[in-house]
Amino acid sequence: MKYKCPLCDFEINSDKYLEKYISDFNNQEYKLYHCLNCDGEWWEPLKIIPEFYEEEGEIAYDLYHAGIRNIQEWHIPFFKKFFLNQGRLLDIGCGDGVFIKEAQKLGFEVWGIDFDKKSIEVAKNKFGLKNVFPMSLEEFVDLAKEKDLKFDVITFFEVLEHQDKPKEFLEQIKILLKPEGYIVGTVPNRESVFINLYQGKYDKTDLPPHHFLRFSKKVLKNFFEHQGFSVEISDTKSLTEIATLIEIWLFGKYTFNLKKKLREKIYLNKNNKNKLFKNNLIKTLKFFRTLFLIPISLFIYPFIQGAHIYFQGKIK
């Protein structure tokens, strides 16, 4: 079987793969391939499964509706590092709109799209966001052409690794972006100890049919360069992230089981009262855990990479 690297089109002729994995979702066997040309990694069969997102949307919807979801850790670098605070911004994969809601506060005119209809309903009803649409990027490009819409900033946090046609994805973005416009976003960092420690063992979110592409900082930078973008790259690393890492290191599956139970009991249980209070209690406990682990965290800080890669840049 011949495969083509989705990032650089390089053809591989052997069936040599890095690892194999059978998904619980569709019982499909996936194999991880490595490109000798660009160092990219991807899973075959490389094909997005739309039904998977519908099922995932159900769970996310409950979380969103619980009213406790906040800005995610991968959004934080945007608020620290991005220099614009006005103009028209489109967020691809906006979910319930938690990010664009904050971007709007800064001064952006915000727009969002997501596959998941229910999340878009939440964005409209709960946050009062108007320009949010349950549609694919291709459909939105058509809408934007009709309305003659162009964007100053296009963000896509934790979206690129889901794509089975990443180059086409960036081509669509170029159509929507003003000539001097910016792209900003994140992907999981395959070089992070954090991801490698728990992936597959306790958590399957960085695997197909969820994620198909695996990036390192270098692979991501080169990919953008080849597609005509120049980007700055950094990784998200924080003391909280390291504290979580140490916790997983020490307690492994126990800490994951506990998190799963809390999620079911507090966030997903519709009859549960005092969700906000319980969520704040968990946050407080997390804070003390991080505080307690600061000495070790500071010690290992220089030697490890963050769990996500952050990028910001523009068309060359």
> Is residue 243 near Zn ion by the rule CB under 5 A?
no
Kindly report the CA angle at 52 between 189 and 43, in degrees rounded to 5?
45
Q: CB count, 10 Å around CB of 53? A: 18
**Least distance between Zn ion and beta carbon 118 (Å):** 36
> Is residue 82 near Zn ion by the rule CB under 5 A?
no
CA distance 118 to 139: 18
**Least distance between Zn ion and beta carbon 12 (Å):** 9
Interface residue with Zn ion, options 12, 32, 38, 304 (CB under 5 A): 38
> Is residue 7 near Zn ion by the rule CB under 5 A?
yes
- Tell me the window of 31-39, 90-98, 213-221, 248-256 that interacts with Zn ion (CB under 5 A): 31-39
The residue (of 100 and 220) whose beta carbon lies closer to Zn ion is 220
> Is residue 8 near Zn ion by the rule CB under 5 A?
yes
CA distance 264 to 5: 39
The residue (of 93 and 188) whose beta carbon lies closer to Zn ion is 188
CA distance 58 to 171: 30
**Least distance between Zn ion and beta carbon 36 (Å):** 8
Footprint on residues 40-69 left by Zn ion (CB under 5 A): 40
- Tell me the window of 29-37, 46-54, 96-104, 275-283 that interacts with Zn ion (CB under 5 A): 29-37
> Is residue 5 near Zn ion by the rule CB under 5 A?
yes
Q: Measured in Å, how far apart are the chain's first and last C-alpha atoms?
A: 36
**Least distance between Zn ion and beta carbon 4 (Å):** 9
Identify any residues that bridge with 157 across adjacent strands, giving them in sequence order.
186
CA distance 34 to 16: 9
> Residue type at 13?
N
Q: Where are the alpha helices (DSSP H) in the chain?
A: 50-65, 76-81, 98-106, 117-127, 137-147, 166-176, 193-198, 217-226, 239-251, 253-262, 275-300
- Tell me the window of 27-35, 47-55, 118-126, 168-176 that interacts with Zn ion (CB under 5 A): 27-35
CA distance 30 to 202: 18
**Least distance between Zn ion and beta carbon 7 (Å):** 5
**Least distance between Zn ion and beta carbon 11 (Å):** 10
Residues in contact with Zn ion, counted by CB under 5 A, come to a total of 8
> Is residue 84 near Zn ion by the rule CB under 5 A?
no
CA distance 314 to 267: 38
> Is residue 35 near Zn ion by the rule CB under 5 A?
yes
> Is residue 37 near Zn ion by the rule CB under 5 A?
yes
The residue (of 35 and 187) whose beta carbon lies closer to Zn ion is 35
Secondary structure element (H or E) that encloses residue 229, with its range: strand 229-236
Q: CB count, 10 Å around CB of 273? A: 8
> Is residue 12 near Zn ion by the rule CB under 5 A?
no
Residues contributing to the site for Zn ion (CB under 5 A):
5, 7-8, 10, 35, 37-38, 40
